[in-house]
Structure 1
């Protein structure tokens, strides 16, 4: 049985210096140099993101290359110390952070190789273009120039044509995966080499080590087990609606869901098919976009409304630099990356948001989300550089999303004058909860399984990357590819986080945390009612609790931060708050599904044959020790 790592790991190249004064001096120097390097790199990235010229791209690459060299020098200096023998706990923790979860321990040649491999994979991904669906062979006017954003994602969200959806899904996966496969296999090899130098068995173990908790893996597995009954009820209801829309030739009444008809290229969240599955469409209209336009909202007014939310609970207003330097609208006369994002320039005064804002409810919610990140940046700005981050890798997203749970509900929208309909109608609440479940509950298995797959690859090798990807998606998510796949494909790479070397379990952790934080703030506000309609707007008590958490950054263990949130009642990641939030929907789904023979999905050979052309015998079927941990804990829910 594979166990999550403890905190005693040391590098194979661990140094011998145990002089505490020298270690403190090194960390002080690092704090200054790292902040300056961060400012330089972030400024270059901002310049390119808001004005995508070749010159700005070259400057960004130069700054990133400088940071890579700085990281390598930093690792060498930190690794000269034997932090396990230093008596100061803060110094010991900071040195441990600098000498783990880094590839800087590799030789210069291999370090440069993995750095460039990741850059090449990201660049290849960004330049993929696919052909549109041709409705006839004589249509010669169509060019193969569809980009992921917005073209591919728009088609997957809006089309209800099975043939078009299948075509676009296949085109994207076929164009991305095969050309990245060999590079990714080499990346896996180098990442594992770096992990072993750092004292780990493989790169997956090193990834989990970031959470500084030997029980982390079991904790998230237990929470996923708790969420599965709700997910299975949701899947069963959605499948019935899709069956009515597409027919039994596309979807089996008791089977898994085809990945291409769920409104999302990766089938990771299903809110785009609300028009198919919403139970009470006549009560649907709580999208306040039209009302915002009617009231003459502008992007600036939307940002001011978000700022007022935070100041109403006692948090800081945005500083002058924010309003002076942020990009709040799509610029004229130049190309810019429009993905909304919050920026910390690491100098304790400059914080910004980049967003090509359109006047609609979705953008209003996004602004609150991004501004929550900025609040986090401002509150932990006085911490040492290493502690200017979320308490764990999921905390930033968890806090930002917890704010949107207050904003994105009919009660709050009515309070701020944007929603005039009755918010107490049963049908309105079920519609609202179902849409939230399509966003949140449907996302849970995907957010959980991406890194479960990555851990398997790091541990057991790259021989069956594609079949293992779809095996996990079938077992944990109940999703299958719409067309047969083989090991010549590499479908995991269709999700950018895989080739871009971005850990994904943080998004599952953030999902749990957003509901835990929301519940804690509602408790602090004295709220006592259904969690899904709680709004902490204007609650100074909720704001004080949140402020205490934000100030800490990463200076304390995230388990201690969870204790702060729960008044000492718990320090565990838990699905309980999320289940409380969706409790009324769970009761409704059970009633809707009461005549269903199967709650969840059954798996037949025809499902596994889609990605395992040769059926493996049980004697040849290989499960990694990591997989055993996961599957033993959830088998009673999956099979």
Structure 2
């Protein structure tokens, strides 16, 4: 921390920063858009050049910011903004190491993007050629639709082997450099740096408290899903009382289980909602999908899209050039240009995605007049939390009925339970995964990289009840199968968003005067609900996120709370308790075979007494879980 305390000098520095940072943001966004929508080598080079200049600018900004003693500045806004700028701790590294860590991250992202895996070819003769050209999108589609456990195991192993092992050494060096940067800023490790952005010492306690409240619901849900998968695949794949193998949950990371809905549907004769056929019958186009999304937001009093949005957004996949099709919302930082990039197909999934991305645009539009540092969510989870809170109203039988996409509302008990089960496969299943990813990352930063893989699976088992389907050792690096790990993207924000989306949704429903069950609330055309949302959006990051929570909950709390999440799923929770009444284990029991999937006992010198060691370990492990001490 520096010695400068002159307020006018600090304010002048912030004014200059605001203008320069806005310009850099525009240039980087423009270059990234150009490459994403036309993936040529030339556009990639321009993008990398702009990103490199932005990284240098960030380092220069940090050097200027740390010249101030922000704790002694008399203006609270100046204090907070300069503190935010000093939190870019990697800028404390030497130029050589600063460039090295950015290069490492870029290399790992590039390795991940170019992974291609081999398809499952049963009974293939050795002389037959095989084309290993499946990317992550291809793998996910197969994982979602295949019910062949051998094929699922093959794809899972292929993806995890080919992502993790090639970048393991690079990741270990990245950890070392990130920790060096943290130490130069007076922190114990880089995990502490990641938490600074939440500006509260109680952050981890709030996360743990909310997760503990969700856990009883998750265990009931888990036990029910396991019983259905046991019936589907048998004891060779699924243990009746144990954890679940990661490859049969419809998703290569086992984070979203909605693709196995056909296996676990409570009332198969009643089905669930899918408005794709109705959209096709009504002549929907990609443009009409986005017009419908805009109608939702304007109906609750939010802003229409700008002329630039309709002129420059990419709504359909071009045929004449290669584009990066992942849906995304873009803020070009010039206060007028906001866009969505989405290779839209006419189906329900793309309709929901369009509403989600347009929620981000609404955030951009509403905090547009804030200083550059405040033009973002109140904390890193708010953008996703806001967008997903809207989806709880849109992906809703009541809303689809009002929009003429289904003929009747979901008013039968069976249809409601089916709908809630589908939502639980998306949301309840995701909660422990979203929580544990950065718990692992903090642990690696703090304790070191010697047991990265076993630490990963230890947390997967502890929080999620998921184990690898095959033996894994420390030569593997399975966490890297999730892009956010090698790409240096914090993940806890998605858990924060998961809790926030239900809190925000409930606040909007209360403002709208909805008196029904929470999962049936639709805030379409409610200006009162829109006012709750616009109050959140306008603030951006100008106020502490706890103040924003206190604002939209009308003073009831300033904490991340799982109460609204549990209220939403309460009817399903009661149903699960009845459905599981004959299940001997709610949750999962762990035995020596589960632990042996990722722990090498021979390497620890227990060759003669391995079995006894594992049994004793399991007894202690299960006791600690039972007592909520582990």
TM-score of the two chains, using structure 1 as the length reference: 0.94
Paired residue secondary structure (1:282): coil
Paired residue secondary structure (2:329): strand
Shift in Å, 1:76: 0.6
Residues in 2 aligned to 1:143 and 1:21: alpha-carbon distance in whole angstroms: 68
1:313-371 CA-to-partner distances (Å, cap 9, x unmatched) read 00000010000000011112100011000000000000000000000011101100000
**Is 1:229–1:637's contact at 8 Å kept on the other side of the alignment?**
no
Paired residue secondary structure (1:342): strand
Match of 2:557 in 1: 570
Match of 1:187 in 2: 174
Q: 1:496 aligns with which of 483, 488, 499?
A: 483
Q: Is 1:114 the equivalent of 2:114?
A: no
Shift in Å, 1:139: 7.0
Residues in 1 aligned to 2:276 and 2:208: alpha-carbon distance in whole angstroms: 38
Residues in 1 aligned to 2:600 and 2:216: alpha-carbon distance in whole angstroms: 31
**Is 2:272–2:419's contact at 8 Å kept on the other side of the alignment?**
no
Residues in 1 aligned to 2:597 and 2:589: alpha-carbon distance in whole angstroms: 15
Q: Is 1:102 the equivalent of 2:118?
A: no
The unaligned stretches of length 5 or more in structure 1 are 1-13, 620-630
- 1:335/1:317 CA distance change after superposition, 3 Å: same
Q: 1:333 aligns with which of 291, 296, 320?
A: 320
**Is 2:62–2:88's contact at 8 Å kept on the other side of the alignment?**
no
**Is 1:406–1:412's contact at 8 Å kept on the other side of the alignment?**
yes
Match of 2:613 in 1: none
1:522-578 CA-to-partner distances (Å, cap 9, x unmatched) read 011111120000000000000011111100000000000001111111100011000
Q: 1:600 aligns with which of 572, 578, 587?
A: 587
Q: Is 1:314 the equivalent of 2:301?
A: yes
**Is 2:89–2:193's contact at 8 Å kept on the other side of the alignment?**
no
Q: Is 1:589 the equivalent of 2:576?
A: yes
Q: Is 1:219 the equivalent of 2:219?
A: no
Match of 1:6 in 2: none
Q: 2:411 aligns with which of 409, 424, 436?
A: 424
Residues in 2 aligned to 1:65 and 1:149: alpha-carbon distance in whole angstroms: 27
Shift in Å, 1:613: 2.0
1:3-152 alignment, distance < 5 Å: 14-138=1-125, 143-152=130-139
1:449-505 CA-to-partner distances (Å, cap 9, x unmatched) read 000000000000000000000000001100000000000000000000000000000
Match of 2:455 in 1: 468
Shift in Å, 1:105: 1.2
Paired residue secondary structure (2:269): helix
1:253-282 CA-to-partner distances (Å, cap 9, x unmatched) read 000000000000000110000011111122
**Is 1:222–1:633's contact at 8 Å kept on the other side of the alignment?**
no
Q: 2:373 aligns with which of 378, 386, 389?
A: 386
**Is 2:393–2:522's contact at 8 Å kept on the other side of the alignment?**
yes
Q: Which runs of 4+ in 1 moved over 6 A?
A: 615-619, 631-635
1:214-253 alignment, distance < 5 Å: 214-253=201-240
- 1:635/1:53 CA distance change after superposition, 3 Å: farther
Match of 2:141 in 1: 154
Shift in Å, 1:155: 1.1
- 1:366/1:638 CA distance change after superposition, 3 Å: farther
1:475-624 alignment, distance < 5 Å: 475-614=462-601
Residues in 1 aligned to 2:270 and 2:468: alpha-carbon distance in whole angstroms: 34
Residues in 2 aligned to 1:147 and 1:400: alpha-carbon distance in whole angstroms: 31
Residues in 2 aligned to 1:214 and 1:616: alpha-carbon distance in whole angstroms: 39
- 1:570/1:302 CA distance change after superposition, 3 Å: same
Paired residue secondary structure (1:499): coil
Paired residue secondary structure (1:283): coil
The unaligned stretches of length 5 or more in structure 2 are 607-621
Shift in Å, 1:146: 3.2
Residues in 1 aligned to 2:203 and 2:297: alpha-carbon distance in whole angstroms: 32
- 1:445/1:486 CA distance change after superposition, 3 Å: same
Shift in Å, 1:87: 1.7
Residues in 1 aligned to 2:589 and 2:239: alpha-carbon distance in whole angstroms: 10
Q: 2:267 aligns with which of 280, 297, 321?
A: 280
Shift in Å, 1:130: 0.8
More displaced stretch, 571-580 vs 280-289: 280-289
Shift in Å, 1:616: 9.3
Q: Is 1:400 the equivalent of 2:411?
A: no
Q: Is 1:433 the equivalent of 2:420?
A: yes
1:154-174 CA-to-partner distances (Å, cap 9, x unmatched) read 111111111111111001111
Shift in Å, 1:632: 12
C-alpha RMSD of the superposition: 1.7
1:163-199 CA-to-partner distances (Å, cap 9, x unmatched) read 1111110011111111110000000000011111122
Residues in 1 aligned to 2:626 and 2:256: alpha-carbon distance in whole angstroms: 23
More displaced stretch, 560-569 vs 93-102: 93-102
Paired residue secondary structure (2:90): coil
- 1:412/1:332 CA distance change after superposition, 3 Å: same
Shift in Å, 1:615: 7.5
- 1:608/1:371 CA distance change after superposition, 3 Å: same
More displaced stretch, 29-38 vs 542-551: 542-551
Shift in Å, 1:137: 2.8
TM-score of the two chains, using structure 2 as the length reference: 0.96
**Is 1:228–1:637's contact at 8 Å kept on the other side of the alignment?**
no
- 1:618/1:508 CA distance change after superposition, 3 Å: farther
**Is 2:420–2:569's contact at 8 Å kept on the other side of the alignment?**
yes
Shift in Å, 1:421: 3.4
Paired residue secondary structure (1:352): strand
Paired residue secondary structure (2:157): helix
**Is 1:299–1:359's contact at 8 Å kept on the other side of the alignment?**
yes
**Is 1:392–1:558's contact at 8 Å kept on the other side of the alignment?**
yes
